[in-house]
Amino acid sequence: MLLETMHIAPRTGTAFKVGAGQTLTVIDPQGEQVADLLCFNAHDIGEALSSGRTLDYASRIYLTTGDPLYSNRSNVMLEIVEDMVGRHDFLLTPCSKDTFRIIYGDTDPHQGCFGNLAGALEPFGVLPDAIPIAFNCFMNVSVDGTTGAISVLPPLSKPGDYIKFIARMDLIVGLTACSALQSNNGRFKPIEYLVE
Amino acid sequence: MLLETMHIAPRTGTAFKVGAGQTLTVIDPQGEQVADLLCFNAHDIGEALSSGRTLDYASRIYLTTGDPLYSNRSNVMLEIVEDMVGRHDFLLTPCSKDTFRIIYGDTDPHQGCFGNLAGALEPFGVLPDAIPIAFNCFMNVSVDGTTGAISVLPPLSKPGDYIKFIARMDLIVGLTACSALQSNNGRFKPIEYLVE
């Protein structure tokens, strides 16, 4: 159990365990930053966070306080217990070398949240292919209901804003300070978190 | 190579191979029916269809003619080459026992598209945990851009309408005639397909 606030440097990521009943608070210390969050059952990593099941059961693409986050086996992994921002994304995969190549046209792309999560989760046995759509804390993605067009807008989070989850099973959690300029209003920033 | 139209009975599913360069046509013979489509790299089943990457690269949740469908490794698996309907879903997981239990309140739930896909893909070595969000042909899911609310509406497909894909790699394809009443305007119907 961590009782101090942990720091994730800009464009990096980490992974750690959170026990059932513990809370995880993800903090945006400077505002307008995104944190990609993934989780896996600590006792069976074949069970992973599922956006498709969560959004189907919620009948909503925007989740907030009171909403459960389900696994690919339809078990509740996390539940949002406090949310100062109210806008997060659960549609898009973590940014990656391919994101930067395809969307930004970078010739020497950063490994992105995908690479950071893959590296951080490797010691827990999670393979890159098993990295699903993340719950992207503070990411502000709007959808045009008529055309279906997606726009990535600056996060609504102000300095110090946070979202707090309770774990409903023992989890391995992957968490990043997002590496994509589009998500963060053009500036890379850190993320902080607290497990208690 | 199949040169005859194949039939998928109501509330069932199947799996088959489609070679790179072949086309796959998914036909709705009676109208207002949904077909959940999944695919895996035939030579390495760790590579699977990814809604999160596809929607990110398209910057749209609604896909149609000309749009590529990407894998979790950011390779193009399928490309839509003809689309008579223009409205399909790529947000929601295949319906399952859990869907029917959680959303419909069924006490003795049908195995749904998830169970049908899991059964059909098992001989190819695909495990149930590896079944991602499907490309749900003809499924009409609207999103309220303000609230994020999702509504599952009757498909726009009329009898005989189809969507046609070209395979950009050798694929194992899973395909269903959807088992959820909400998707199909309340009536279970067959699906047909053609590989050529």
Q: Is residue B1 part of a domain?
A: no
A37-86 pLDDT, tens digit per residue, is: 999 999 999 999 999 999 999 999 999 999 999 999 999 999 999 999 99
Phi, psi of A76 (to 5 degrees): -75, 125
Q: Which domain holds residue A132?
A: 6-195
Q: Do B56 and A142 touch (CB under 8 A)?
A: no
A87-128 pLDDT, tens digit each: 999 999 998 898 888 888 888 888 999 999 999 999 999 999
Q: Is the confidence at residue A23, as pLDDT, over 60?
A: yes
- Of the pLDDT bands very low, low, confident and very high (cuts 50, 70, 90), residue B2 is low
CB contact under 8 A, A60 and B145: no
Residue at token pair 């209901």 = A145
Q: Is the dihedral of CA B6, B172, A103, A50 positive or negative?
A: positive
Interface contact B92-A59, CB threshold 8 A: no
* Chain B residues with beta carbon closer than 8 angstroms to that of A145: 142-145
pLDDT band at A1 (very low <50, low <70, confident <90, very high): very low
pLDDT digits (tens, 9 = 90+) for A128-163: 999 999 999 999 999 999 999 999 999 999 999 999
Of B103, B133, B144, the CB nearest to A57: B103
Q: What is the pLDDT of residue B1?
A: 47
Q: What is the pLDDT of residue A2?
A: 53
CB nearest to A55's CB, from B74, B129, B150:
B150
- Chain B residues whose beta carbon lies within 8 Å of the beta carbon of residue A55: 91-92, 150
* Minimal Cβ distance to B92: which of A52, A99, A103: A52
Angle B61-B66-B69 from CA coordinates, rounded to 5° = 55
Q: Which residue has the tokens 């959303």?
A: B103
Which residue in A44, A143, A151 has the most chain B C-beta atoms within 10 A of its own C-beta, making it the best mutation to test that interface?
Answer: A143
**Alpha-carbon torsion (B130, A63, A99, B23), positive or negative:** positive
Contact yes or no for B147 and A55 at CB 8 A: no
d(CA A185, CA A62): 20
The pLDDT of A189-194, averaged and rounded, is 97
Rounded Cα–Cα distance for residues B113 and A33 (Å): 38
Buried b (16+ CB within 10 A) or exposed e, A107-134: eebbbbbbbbbbbbbeeeebebbbbbbb
Chain A to chain B, count of Cβ pairs less than 8 Å apart?
107
State yes or no: pLDDT of B130 exceeds 50: yes
Q: What is the pLDDT of residues B46-100, one digit of tens each?
A: 999 999 999 999 999 999 999 999 999 999 999 999 999 999 999 999 988 888 8
Q: Does A65 touch chain B (CB under 8 A)?
A: no
B23-60 pLDDT, tens digit each: 999 999 999 999 999 999 999 999 999 999 999 999 99
Which of A53, A129, A149 has its CB closest to that of B72? A129
Give B92's DSSP letter. Answer: S
Residue B171 in tokens: 């694929």
ipTM for this prediction: 0.92
Mean per-residue pLDDT for B147-154? 95
Give strand pairing partners of B142.
B151
- What is the number of domains present in chain B? 1
Does residue A1 sit within a domain? no
* DSSP letters for B117-184: HHHHHGGGT--GGG----EEET-EEEE-TTT-BEEEE---PPTTEEEEEEESS-EEEEEE----TTTT
User: Does the residue A89 lie in any domain?
Assistant: yes
Q: How many CB atoms lie within 10 A of CB A90?
A: 27
Q: Is the pLDDT of residue A186 over 90?
A: no
The encoded tokens of residue B188 equal 């279970």
User: In the predicted model, is pLDDT for residue A183 greater than 50?
Assistant: yes
Q: Are B175 and B36 in contact (CB under 8 A)?
A: yes
Question: Does some domain include residue B66?
Answer: yes
B129–A47 C-beta distance less than 8 A:
yes
Query: Any chain A CB within 8 A of the CB of B107?
Result: no
